[in-house]
């Protein structure tokens, strides 16, 4: 079964890291990718929330606004699609994602439409 692991962290705290700390963080993500292997075939990082746009359609009118819909302490920074046999396996794998130690990782099963 497929699960989406949504990675949330504090952009302001991340921006405060030194370049060496950021490089070490990239190394942790590369190591996670090697450990996860085929169980995490898709994963991507996202640009910061100040690059985001939100789209709504109301009464046939398209409205766009800057940024995410709501302000939060933690922002969506990336995701993985995990291939796991159970939610327990997906949670165990998500616990190895580096940002689980300073932010959080939301894990949700993906609906398969036939």
pLDDT digits (tens, 9 = 90+) for 56-77: 999 999 999 987 766 778 899 9
**Tens of pLDDT, residues 4-61:** 999 999 999 999 999 999 999 999 999 999 999 999 999 999 999 989 998 999 999 9
Nearest residue to 35 via CA among 105, 78, 85, 95: 95
Q: E-assigned strands of the chain?
A: 2-9, 42-45, 53-58, 61-66, 75-83, 104-109
Q: Note the pLDDT of residue 72.
A: 77
Q: Note the pLDDT of residue 114.
A: 86
Distance of CA 109 to the CA centre of its chain: 14
Whether the Cβ atoms of residue 76 and residue 46 lie closer than 8 Å to each other: yes
Q: Note the pLDDT of residue 68.
A: 73
Confidence (pTM): 0.89
**Tens of pLDDT, residues 78-102:** 999 999 999 999 999 999 999 999 9
Listed by start position, the domains of the chain span: 2-109
Answer whether residue 3 shows pLDDT above 90. yes
Q: Which CATH superfamily is domain 2-109 in?
A: Dimeric alpha+beta barrel (3.30.70.1060)
């Amino acid at each position: 079964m497929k699960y989406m692991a949504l990675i949330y962290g504090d952009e302001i705290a991340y921006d405060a890291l030194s370049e060496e700390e950021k490089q070490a963080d990239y190394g942790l993500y590369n190591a996670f990718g090697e450990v996860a292997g085929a169980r995490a075939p898709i994963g991507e990082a996202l640009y910061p929330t100040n690059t985001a746009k939100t789209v709504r359609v109301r009464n046939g009118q398209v409205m766009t606004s800057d940024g995410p819909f709501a302000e939060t302490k933690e922002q969506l920074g990336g995701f993985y699609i995990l291939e796991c046999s159970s939610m327990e396996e997906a949670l165990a794998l998500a616990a190895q994602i580096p940002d689980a130690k300073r932010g959080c990782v939301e894990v949700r099963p993906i609906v398969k439409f036939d």
